[in-house]
Amino acid sequence: MGEVEQIKKAKSISQLEKLKAQAGPREANLFYSLCENGQNTIDKTQFKQALFDAGLSSLDYRLKSLFEKLEKHGDQINFEEFMSFTRTGGLLAEKALRGELAVPDFRDFSRNLDKIYDEVLPNRSGDLARYIPPLAEVDPEQFGIAVVTTDGQIYQRGDTNVDFSIQSMCKPFNYSFAIENLGLEKVNRHVGVEPSGRQFDDLTLMVKGMGGSSLSPNNKVPFNPMVNAGAIMTTGLINPRDTTNDRLQYIREQFGRIIGWNKEETSGVNLPRFNKTMARQENFKGYNNIATGFLLMATGNIPYSESLLPDDIHEDSQYEYDFYVEPAVTNALKVYFSICSLEMTGKDVAMAAATLANGGVCPITQDRVMSQKTVRNVLPVVQTAGMYNSSGQFFQEIGLPSKSGVGGGILLIVPQLMGICIFSPRLDLVGNSVRGIEVARKITKKYLVHAFDGTMTDTDRIDPKLPIARWRANSCGEAIWAASNGDVRTLERLVSQQRDLEAGDYDIRTPLHLASAEGQLEVVKFLLGQGVKPIPDRWGGYPISDARNNNHQEIIDEFNKLNIEYTEPVHIVEEPEGITDEMVTFDNELMVIELLFAAAENDVNGLRQLVAKGVPVHAGDYDSRTALHLAAAEGSLQAVKYLVSHGHPLNVRDRWGATPLDEAKREKREEVIDFLSQ
């Protein structure tokens, strides 16, 4: 007996119905999506791999118990055991299997980031930061990209587990800590929120007027907390009456909570490391920062600087006296230098950025480190001032709240989706990582993550919040269904959104094809009036052929008015009167198109997620095309095997009477032909 016959005999859709009767559709669909090769159990390795493909890890604090149980279990898992495992993993495991995490198609997302990494790696322009000796000694070849989503999915490539100095990337977090402790109103009395348009260490950055008399020093504060003057000020606001040691420990623990550390030390995440040598060098070489500290003192805004002048022990000397240095200034500077000298990995920084993206909740511990209101107040300042005097251009181009540091790191925050860290020590003239800027550009060029992408229609860039097959389905599916059903009003809306009404589906079937097939004359006239041109589909057929096949003479006449030489489609139907299996109609048309796109691209993971959501494997589209037709036509053998093993009948016929085997033969897909012919 051939492989395909063994699968057909061992498994049918009736098995799914039995599971539904046993436990309900949600659990049944989830389990059934992982069953393969006619088994009534799922393979443990495959179960784990599905979680890994979703961007989760066996080291994930939230899934520790689940993976411990799996390690002790045998190779095969039955239905009852599977439900026990998924309950152990909570909704996280179930959402991963159903493709409902923040980035549903994490495997495709990871592949695209790998390509970006490889493209940027050869760029060796820029130079190390040399004004602080330890920064001049780092390996300039280091390069890493880390991404953490709001659901705790993690991507890492390159040097993402290497400690590096966070430097100015600490500034958004210092600002957050100050607001959490004192409230925004009080913090705003000490530091502004306006972009400066000047270099980060410019000594004039503490003289922004806050209203009232310009002669009053109390009305002058730093422009914003992303420049050095503002960062020193916000540091001075954090627990100013405590000792330097206690203040730094408090800040380290706050950073720790942001990156997933907990006091019980059960999460597997360590506190940021403190580099004392770096802090001392910051002190020795930080002349501008030291000058800034005393200029801030001159404004009267450094907190708790009301020390009494001590008695002079040199009262009897004509020239000697005690030279007094205000401790509030030196303490603020010492803590600021210390925070800049904290070291984290790229993964740590990405987790910190993801915590901001997640409204102040650490994705892996679910610890609320800061309030949603604090995050809302912090991100606009990061957005407008985080990249120093290139912030405006950066935001216009990249469109994300971002912060860089001269240690070579750049963090980017995609609100409600992910945090990103790119680490590469070579800097441009502004002080930003050269590779980091290039990676950020490429990510925004590839994905719809710019803050204002919602104001435009762009079907060339991927929406990471959608599975890749659904993104493709969205780009054409709505227009095709509307055209098929004669819905001109929807098409008018799509035109106003500048959608491409000439775009085709997996078979290059366009709205014009479907309107012609269904006799929608008004739609055909509307599309032609919008300048939509007839194009041939997979089989070489123009929309006029659909009109002819269905005797829609008025539509034929419309196409004959055009100066186009039409070709006729070539379909292969070996046994027109042969066995015919039924497809099913599913009420979510876009999910059907998504299913067919996944099959065409051999995306078994995407097929599995859709089956887990309850989409029938043999659901058909507007042309009665099913996933098996598309998998066979494209030679997607793994998708073919998955579909057959999950009960897809072999002899479903499309609009033209072709079976999946006919499609494989037409396209000369030999492996698929051999499999389906067994």
On whether the CB atoms of residues 619 and 647 are closer than 8 A, the answer is no
Looking at residue 10, its pLDDT comes to: 44
Residues 432 and 488 in one domain: no
Q: What is the pLDDT of residue 16?
A: 61
pLDDT of 519 above 80: yes
CATH number at residue 497: 1.25.40.20
Is the pLDDT reported for residue 366 higher than 90? yes
pLDDT-above-90 percentage for the chain:
67
- % of residues, the chain, pLDDT over 70: 91
Quote the CA–CA distance of 463 and 144 in Å, as a whole number: 23
pLDDT band, very low/low/confident/very high, at 267 (cuts 50, 70, 90): confident
The token duo for 300 is: 């009267």
Between the ranges 18-22, 153-157, 316-320, where is the mean pLDDT highest? 153-157
Examine the domain organization and report whether 616 and 669 are in the same domain: yes
Residue 299: the pLDDT is 76
Whether the predicted pLDDT of 1 surpasses 50? no
Q: Are residues 494 and 441 in the same domain?
A: no
Q: Fill in the DSSP letter of residue 77.
A: E
d(CA 380, CA 358): 15
The secondary element (H helix, E strand) that includes residue 675 is helix 670-676
Q: Is residue 315 part of a domain?
A: no
Taking CA 199 as the corner, what is the angle to CA 193 and CA 200, rounded to the nearest 5 degrees?
60
295 in any annotated domain? yes
Reference 527, options 550, 551, 548, 558; nearest CA is 558
88-123 pLDDT, tens digit per residue, is 888 899 999 999 999 999 999 999 999 999 999 999
Same domain, yes or no, for 353 and 440? yes
Q: Cβ–Cβ contacts within 10 Å for residue 239, how many? A: 16
Among 560, 579, 614, which residue terminates a domain? 560
Asked if residue 395 is part of any domain, the answer here is: yes
In the chain the first and final C-alpha atoms are separated, in Å, by 8
Q: What is the CA 77 to chain-centroid distance, rounded?
A: 32
What are the residues whose beta carbons fall under 8 Å from the beta carbon of 5, sequence distance 6 or more?
678
CB 360 within 8 A of CB 371: yes
Comparing 27-31, 378-382, 542-546, the range with the smallest average pLDDT is 27-31
Rounded to whole angstroms, the Cα distance separating 648 from 676 reads 12
Structure tokens at 50: 């599905």
Name the nearest CA neighbour of 522 among 483, 548, 556: 483
Higher pLDDT, 545 or 393: 545
617 or 328, which is more confident:
617
Assign residue 13 the CATH number of its domain.
Answer: 1.10.238
Of residues 288 and 126, which shows the higher confidence score?
126
SS (H, E, C) 200-245: CCCCCCCCEECCCCCCCHHHEECCCCCCHHHHHHHHHHCCCCCCHH
pLDDT over 60 at 196, yes or no: no
Number of domains in the chain: 4
Task: Tell me: do 205 and 276 sit in the same domain.
Answer: yes
Exposed/middle/buried for residue 370 (C-beta within 10 Å: 0-12, 13-18, 19+)? buried
Residue 563 makes CB contacts below 8 A (sequence gap 6+) with none
Residue 526 and residue 436 share a domain: no
Laid out side by side, the sheet with 409-414 consists of 154-158, 144-149, 418-423, 409-414, 402-404
- The answer, yes or no, to whether residue 425 has pLDDT greater than 60, is yes
pLDDT of residue 316: 78
Rounded to whole angstroms, how far apart are CA atoms 630 and 601? Answer: 9
- 36 backbone φψ class: left, alpha, beta (φ>0; ψ -120 to 50): beta
Q: How far apart are CA 617 and CA 620, in angstroms?
A: 9
Q: Contacts by 4-11 with C-beta closer than 8 Å and gap 24+?
A: 4/644, 4/650, 4/675, 4/676, 4/678, 5/678, 6/38, 7/37, 7/38, 7/641, 7/644, 7/645, 8/644, 8/650, 9/38, 10/37, 10/38, 10/39, 11/35, 11/38, 11/39, 11/645, 11/646, 11/647
Q: How much is the average pLDDT of 39-49?
A: 89
Q: What is the band of 200 on the pLDDT scale with cuts at 50, 70, 90?
A: very low
DSSP state of 148: E
- Do 236 and 361 lie in a common domain? yes
Does residue 236 share a domain with residue 362? Answer: yes
Res 273 pLDDT > 90: yes
Statement to judge: residues 248 and 189 lie in one domain:
yes
474 and 428 both lie in a single domain: no
Planar angle of CA 299, 302, 304, nearest 5 degrees: 130
Indicate if the alpha-carbon torsion angle 577, 583, 585, 591 is positive or negative. negative
What pLDDT is stored for residue 209 in this prediction?
47
Tokens of 398: 């990249």
Q: What is the mean pLDDT of residues 318-339?
A: 84
pLDDT of residue 527: 96
Whether residue 103 is contained in a domain is answered as no
Last residue of a domain, one of 44, 78, 97: 97
Q: Collect all residues with Cβ–Cβ distance below 8 Å to 375 and sequence separation of at least 6.
A: 176, 356, 359, 360
Lowest mean pLDDT segment, chosen from 47-61, 458-472, 660-674: 458-472
Residue 115, in any domain of the structure: no
pLDDT at 614: 92
Q: Does a structural domain hold residue 108?
A: no
Query: Using alpha carbons only, how large is the chain's radius of gyration in Å?
Result: 31
Q: What is the mean pLDDT of residues 325-349?
A: 92
What mean pLDDT, rounded, does the chain reach?
89
Strands 409-414 and 402-404 come out as antiparallel
Which of 203, 197, 386, 387 has the alpha carbon at shortest distance from 287? 203
Q: How confident is the model at residue 21 (pLDDT cuts 50, 70, 90)?
A: low
Maximum average pLDDT range among 210-214, 234-238, 277-281, 410-414: 410-414
Judgement on whether residues 279 and 159 belong to the same structural domain of the protein: yes
Domain-located, residue 436: yes
485/318: higher pLDDT: 485
* Parallel, antiparallel or unpaired: strands 42-43 and 76-77: antiparallel
168-182, 289-303, 465-479: segment of lowest average pLDDT: 289-303
Tokens of 269: 């995440």
Residue 307: the pLDDT is 62
- Residue 498 domain boundaries: 468-560
Q: Is residue 221 part of a domain?
A: yes
Same domain membership, residue 180 and residue 40 = no
Give tens-digit pLDDT for 208-262.
Answer: 444 433 333 455 777 788 888 889 999 999 998 899 999 999 999 999 999 999 9
Domain end, chosen from 544, 560, 576, is at: 560
Residues 567-626 have pLDDT tens digits of 999 999 999 999 999 999 999 989 999 999 999 999 999 999 999 999 999 999 999 999
Token output for 344: 């984290």
Give the 3-state secondary structure of residue 134: helix
CB 238 within 8 A of CB 247: yes
